[in-house]
Amino acid sequence: MTVAAVITAAGSGTRLGAHSPDGTAPKVPVPKALVPLEGRALVAWAASRIADVAERIVVTAPPLAVDAVRSALVEAGVDALVVPGGDTRQASVAAGLRALMLDPDDIVLIHDAARAFQPTEVMAATIDAVHAGADGAIPVLPVVDTLIGAPGPDGVIGDPVDREGLRAVQTPQTFRARVALDAHRVAEAHGTPPATDDATLARALGHRIVAVDGHEWGFKVTRPSDLPLARHIAQSLSG
Ligand code: C5P
């Protein structure tokens, strides 16, 4: 039984809008995974933290950036296999799981590179929960905003939603390997619209997924306004 990890880093990062440095021509978009923070690519921050809890790591990269992601990981001293991701997060996770060649009794963490600063204590808590008998475990946080139904075409807002009964979901999502493999096999076979996380797929098959406390540093680096906080955390970890 080993603990292994898939890090999804194959997103384009269009919402982050990062580009090659001004003055270089042509000005090309930089995949989110390669955005540098304190001299280290986002994906390398994610991988170096997960290396504290996982013995084997597969990273899924944008197909045109496999070599660049590999170099970023080597530069950061992280040992990981880099494979091309798919068109959706779900397809990228499936590619990563295949590349890991898991034993059914292994434990697998599925982590978004974009949540590069999730503390290892949270990762360890998800692993402990699976060791304790859960089929899977995910970090969650209470929802802080007031929630409502989306406005209609007339701009009139919908019904309020009780936030007390809701949680925001983070990664890593950690499973007994047979559960993750089964969930992705069934999802692929049914061809349903891709899920944005893995616990949804496992839960749909009746697996028991438990929650552990997430952490605000596990936020998903998504928009340009997320970068100052990401930089601040990277600085405090480097210093
Ligand atoms: O797009 P979203 O923010 O939900 O992406 C979450 C994670 O999934 C990111 O780390 C991103 O790199 C990854 N992803 C992927 N393959 C895709 C799309 C997203 O690995 N095709």
Residue pLDDT, tens place only, 24-72: 555 667 889 999 999 999 999 999 999 999 999 999 999 999 999 999 9
Answer whether 115 contacts ligand 1 (Cβ < 6 A).
Answer: no
Please check the confidence at residue 22 and state whether its pLDDT lies above 60.
no
Cα(148)–Cα(83) distance, integer angstroms: 40
Say if CB 36 and CB 142 are below 8 A apart: no
The range of the structural domain enclosing residue 59 comes to: 3-238
- Output the pLDDT for position 60: 98
pLDDT tens across 172-212, in order? 999 999 999 999 999 999 887 889 999 999 999 999 999 99
Cα–Cα distances (Å) from 102 to 39, 97, 238, in that order, read 33, 7, 33
**What confidence tier does 12 reach under pLDDT thresholds 50, 70, 90?**
confident
Calculate how far, in angstroms, residue 113's C-alpha sits from the geometric centre of ligand 1. Answer: 8
Count the alpha carbons within 13 Å of 190 in the hemisphere toward its beta carbon: 13
Cα(69)–Cα(12) distance, integer angstroms: 13
Return the closest-CA partner of residue 108 out of 117, 97, 98, 119: 97
- Output the pLDDT for position 24: 58
Mean pLDDT of 214-222: 97
Calculate how far, in angstroms, residue 89's C-alpha sits from the geometric centre of ligand 1. Answer: 5
**175 against 12, higher pLDDT:** 175
- What integer best gives the mean pLDDT of the chain? 94
Mean pLDDT of 89-101: 97
- Nearest-CA residue for atom 11 of ligand 1: 11
Answer whether 62 contacts ligand 1 (Cβ < 6 A).
Answer: no
Compute the residue count for the chain: 239
Calculate how far, in angstroms, residue 97's C-alpha sits from the geometric centre of ligand 1. Answer: 15
**Complex ipTM, two decimals?**
0.96
Looking at the structure of the chain, the number of domains it has is: 1
**23 against 157, higher pLDDT:** 157
Cα–Cα distances (Å) from 49 to 23, 29, 144, 207, 237, in that order, read 33, 26, 27, 28, 11
> In 135-173, which positions are buried (b, 16+ CB within 10 angstroms) versus exposed (e)?
bbbbbbbeeeeeeeeeeeeeeeeeeeeeeeeeebbbbbb
Calculate how far, in angstroms, residue 169's C-alpha sits from the geometric centre of ligand 1. Answer: 15
Answer whether 8 contacts ligand 1 (Cβ < 6 A).
Answer: yes
Answer whether 170 contacts ligand 1 (Cβ < 6 A).
Answer: no
Q: Return the CATH number at 194.
A: 3.90.550.10
Calculate how far, in angstroms, residue 154's C-alpha sits from the geometric centre of ligand 1. Answer: 33
Cα(174)–Cα(74) distance, integer angstroms: 25
Answer whether 12 contacts ligand 1 (Cβ < 6 A).
Answer: no
